[in-house]
Structure 1
Amino acid sequence: MTATAARVITGDAEALAVARDLAAELATGDSERDAQRRLPRAEVAALAASGLLGVTVPREHGGADVSARTMGELMAVLAEGDASVGQIPQNHFFFVEVLREAASPAQKEFFFAEVLAGRHFGNALSERGTKSPRDYAIRFEPRPGGDVLVDGTKYYATGSPFAPWIPIYANDPDGRLVAAWVPADAPGVTVEDDWHGMGQRTTGSGTVRFDQVVIPADWVVPVWTIFERPEVFGAFGNYLHAGVDLGIARAALRDAKDLVRRIARPGIESTVDRPADDPLIIQEFGELALRVRTAAALLHEAGDALDAARAAPTVESAAEASVAVAAARAETDRAAVSVASDVFALIGARASAQELNLHRHWRNARTHTLHDPRRMKVFHIGNHALNDVPPPPSGLV
């Protein structure tokens, strides 16, 4: 595998500063990449070289080990620059977390060194035709001598066209959940760029085929062990998704501000020269800004709850963190979809012009928020508030 020379970031403030600089660069080509569905290979390489993909590596392994609160904002910053590029590292950080929580010391030493060298992770989690998202039919068979055979197909493999490593989820012979790291260039691995969703067009969320692929057993991590103790592993993964949604909402509001000032015209009954001076437009823009601020506040609150639970993991602290993340995910979902839709009314018919591509924000929001239903988040919030029932330790909440 070819390494990308990666910077090593040492702290939270540096991580956010690097993210903001990179996001500004991403924003310059975001609309064009989306319109042309041009995969962001150079942009992902720049992301890897920036050192941002190593910021959750523990300090004892040379990483910055930034806080969860920082990670939520970091994801939002990147997604505001380009929602597709912003989503790509979500799975990478998810699998870094798998290593933190369940890997052996030797596995951590090996894979964290890979991450810090710029050799990042894609993913191959989802399958089709199974009963639920947590049923895995992919063949996963230990072989004599200690290797493991992987054979089957995964879908919606976000980031895999760009990644040196493609971790998969599978069930071991005892039916327990494991993760296995497969080199993208291993014999029998085929990555297909066949994702054609209406939004998040350049995430590389296509198909990965594993044809009699053999990997060492040392690259298999027992994910099932995470759920034998109080954990916020699943909450952290969902929290990163909430950051993506917040970034989309911010991007929609940013572009609406520019277009209201630049191309919108006063309404027929308006008495002002500029739409930006119209009290009704100011009022509605304030409502949209309030939704974004509310979502951001809940995201930051959830980050604090995750950090508290990590520092003192108990059933109670894990439940509080999971509920806080559910609240952030529910509100960032609503903000992204509604703000990206409602901005059109502030600008008028001109906002629908294809060349503006303003609709990409709504397409991105509507596509990304389909990962799991908002109603599921609200149910767990309500069940905890009313019946003191914590969210289940499934890794999905």
Structure 2
Amino acid sequence: MASTTDDVTLRTELPAARPAPTRTGYADHREDAAVIDDDAQAVLVARELAVEFAAGAAERDAERRAPVAELARLSASGLLGITVPAVYGGADVAAQTLAEVVRLLASADPNIAQIPQSHFTYVNVLRQQGSDEQQRFFFAEILAGRRFGNAQSEAGTRHVQDYRTRLTADGGGFLLTGVKHYSTGALFADWIPVLARGDDEKLYVAYVPAGAPGMTIRDDWTGMGQRTTASGTVELDRVRVPADRVVPHHLTFTGPQLHGAYSQLVHTAIDAGIARAALDEAGEFVRTRTRPWAESGVDRAADDPLLIQRFGELAVQVRATEALLVDAARAIDTARAALTEDSAAAASIAVAVAKAFADGTAIEVTSALFEVGGTRSSLDPLNLHRHWRNARTHTLHDPVRWKLQHIGRYVLNGTRPPRHGLI
């Protein structure tokens, strides 16, 4: 079904049993973005944008309305270019800075924070395996405010790393054929990196422009949380890709690598941001809208010693999560400075520890919001349940139980974690 780019509102209800709408995307024509100079500026800009984005987050979620204007602001701000290497004009910020930028955005609206998660991941793919020509072209695109989406995950395969999408040689280029699900950011992207297997069965990333003939983006994401990430379906029907738009991603995993740790760090920052937002909103609700329990003997719910105790427990968890996020990011920065098998393993484990803890914190704090807020906090018009829905949905991205396995093997037996993109 044809669509137009001026229809920028996602569905406001779960779809009935009918074909999902097809859209070419919401990528817009922009003036060149600002270029951020250093780490401090990146954090300052993120903090300012977070204030803006928080104002409409609950309403966007309730209406399932795409954050089109907000993403345009994000692109124009220069934040999408902060990981571009300095030699190509970027700020090349530390992993610790990227984590803080994402955490701040997630504390305002985790949907907006998750949309560029793949953007930063696939900028990193170019850093690792892109040719000088590819890096010059794409890093210039990024610094101009262009956005990367993703077309990576597939449904109905044997497991999450069983990729069936094919990149077939054809003349001087390639043809892409397959179906991708959970394609967060694709609907809003200028370029869509597609993970596919080549004729040699190895993994490649093809960078495909939005609107390429044969590529269809479906807005059919119906998750209960992260509702405005538009994490729908990308269909590829013999999409032609020039050879200079294909990167040999399989080479990333032939030696020490931080690809997985880097990607997982951003996911951890999203969880940390959700937890912080829920704690802050719970505190505001209890101070302003919750009645004291009759047996508490106090006039304000905020003076109830049992509620004070509970907030103390939750605050410890949130601050521990934020500290582990910083520790994980520093481990990545240390490994980047001197990459070896041991430093890469240490970084991956540090990120796995932070992610495992952040998952639990995000789920507990977003649930405890109702425990401390009482019945009134569950009222649908308040939409406080978006925090729990977002946390519960986002933490399903990859299982913590396997991270704990790798952590245990590393601590007990010195076994390094596997080389893949999920740890």
TM range (shorter): over 0.9
Name the counterpart of 1:150. 176
Aligned residue for 1:269, secondary structure, equals helix
| 8 Å contact kept, 2:166–2:198 | no
Name the counterpart of 1:113. 140
Q: 5+ residue gaps in structure 2? A: 1-27
- Write out aligned runs for 1:99-178 (5 A): 99-144=126-171, 146-178=172-204
| 8 Å contact kept, 2:179–2:234 | yes
Aligned residue for 2:235, secondary structure, equals strand
Q: 5+ residue gaps in structure 1? A: none
Quote how far apart the aligned CAs of 1:139 are: 2.5
Aligned residue for 2:296, secondary structure, equals coil
1:67 corresponds, among 94, 97, 110, to: 94
Once the two structures are superposed, what CA deviation does each residue of 1:99-127 show, in whole Å capped at 9, x if it has no partner? Answer: 00111111100100010011110000011
Name the counterpart of 1:326. 352
Runs of 4+, deviation exceeding 6 Å? none
CA distance in 2, matches of 1:375, 1:124: 25
- Write out aligned runs for 1:4-153 (5 A): 4-144=31-171, 146-153=172-179
What percent identity do the matched residue pairs reach? 55
Once the two structures are superposed, what CA deviation does each residue of 1:51-80 show, in whole Å capped at 9, x if it has no partner? Answer: 000000000000000000111111110011
2:303 is the counterpart of 1:303 = no
CA distance in 2, matches of 1:394, 1:203: 25
CA distance in 1, matches of 2:85, 2:30: 21
Quote how far apart the aligned CAs of 1:21 are: 0.6
Aligned residue for 1:340, secondary structure, equals helix
2:207 is the counterpart of 1:181 = yes
Aligned residue for 2:56, secondary structure, equals helix
| 8 Å contact kept, 1:195–1:205 | yes
Which range is displaced more, 2-11 or 221-230?
2-11
1:218 corresponds, among 244, 267, 270, to: 244
CA distance in 2, matches of 1:234, 1:4: 33
| 8 Å contact kept, 2:279–2:365 | yes
Once the two structures are superposed, what CA deviation does each residue of 1:320-361 show, in whole Å capped at 9, x if it has no partner? Answer: 100000001001101100000012111111110111111100
Aligned residue for 1:361, secondary structure, equals helix
CA distance in 1, matches of 2:118, 2:321: 22
| 8 Å contact kept, 1:4–1:45 | no
| 8 Å contact kept, 1:166–1:183 | yes
Name the counterpart of 1:345. 371
Once the two structures are superposed, what CA deviation does each residue of 1:6-63 show, in whole Å capped at 9, x if it has no partner? Answer: 1100101100110011111110000000001001111111111110000000000000
| 8 Å contact kept, 1:4–1:48 | no
Name the counterpart of 1:364. 390
Once the two structures are superposed, what CA deviation does each residue of 1:117-169 show, in whole Å capped at 9, x if it has no partner? Answer: 1111000001112111111111211111x111012211110011111101010
Which range is displaced more, 206-215 or 28-37?
206-215
Aligned residue for 2:294, secondary structure, equals coil
TM-score normalised by L of structure 2: 0.92
Quote how far apart the aligned CAs of 1:4 are: 4.4
Amino acid at match of 1:245: D
Superposition CA RMSD, Å:
0.9
| 8 Å contact kept, 1:51–1:118 | yes
What is the count of residue pairs matched by the alignment? 396
